[in-house]
Structure 1
Amino acid sequence: MPVKKAHPEAEDPQGDAAGAEAGVGGGAGDAELAERESRWNHALVGSGLGVWDHNYRLDRKYYSPTWKTIRGMAPDEEVAGDYDAWLQLVHPDDRDFVAHAIERQNAGDPNYQIFQYRERHRDGHWVWIDCRGACVEWDENGVPTRIVGTDIDITARKEAEETLSLLSRRLDLALEISHIGVFEADIENDTVEWDDRLIAIYGLQGASHQIASDAWAKSLHPDDRERVLGLAGRSVESGSDFQQEYRIIRGDGVERIIRARSAFFVDGNGHRKLIGANWDVTEDVALRNELQRAKDLAEARNRELEAAKENIERLALHDYLTDLPNRRYLDKMLDERSAECRAKGLALAILHVDLDRFKQINDTLGHRAGDAMLQHAANVLRNSVRAADFVARIGGDEFVILCAMNAASKKIGGLAQRIIRELRKPVRYEGHDCRFGASIGIAVNGGAKLDAKQTLLDADIALYRAKGLGRNRFEFFSASARNDIVSAKQLADEILIGLERNEFVPFYQLQFDARTLDVTGAETLARWQHPVHGLLTPDRFLDIAEDLDVVSTIDALILERALADRRAWIKDGLSIPKISVNVSARRLTDPDLGKKLRALKIEPGAIAFELLESISLDDCEKSVAANLKKLRKVGIDIHIDDFGTGHASIVSLLRLSPNTLKIDRELIRMLPQSAEQRKLVGSIIDIGRSLNILVIAEGVETADHVRILEQLGCDTLQGYALARPMPAMQIPSFIRAGSWRHGLTAARGLQTYLLRATPSRTAK
Structure 2
Amino acid sequence: MRIVSILLIGNIETQVIFYIIYSVVLLVLLFAFAIRSYISRRDRKLYLQREVSEAIIENAKTIVLIFSLDGKVLLFNKFAQEMTGYSRKDVTGRSIDEIPFLDRDTELGEIIHEAVSEKTIVRNKEICFTAKNGRKIYSLWNIDMISDTENVPVYVAAMGIDITDRKNTESRLADSYQELESLYRELVTKEIELRLQFDDLNARDNDLRRSEERYRLAVEGVNDGVWDWDGRDGRLFMSKKGRDILGIDTDEEFLTIEKWFEVILREDLDKFVVSLNKYISEPQKKHFQIEYRVKDDDDEIRWVRTRGMAIWDDDGNPVRVAGSITDITEQKLADEKIHRLAFFDSLTGLPNRALLMDRFSIAEANARRKNKSIAVYFLDLDNFKTINDTMGHTYGDKLLLKVGEQLRLKLRKSDTIARLGGDEFIMLQTNINSMDDVYKLAARMLNVFKKPWKLDDREFYVTASIGISIYPNDGTDLRELMKNADAAMYRAKEKGKNNFQIFTPELNMKIMERMEIENHLRKAAQKKEFVLYYQPQIELNTGKVKCVEALIRWSDPHMGWIMPEAFIHIAEETGMIGNIGEWVMATACAQLCKWHEEGHDDLRVSVNLSAKQFQQPDIFEKIMGIIEKTGIKPEWLELEITESLAMQDLEHTTSILSRIRDAGFGISLDDFGKGYSSLNYLKALPITNLKIDKTFIHGISNSVNQAKIVKALISLAHSMDLTVTAEGVESSAQLGFLLKERCDTAQGYLFSKPKPAKDVDLSSYRTCVETSMEMSS
TM-score (norm 1): 0.46
> Which of the two has higher C-alpha Rg?
2
TM-score (norm 2): 0.45
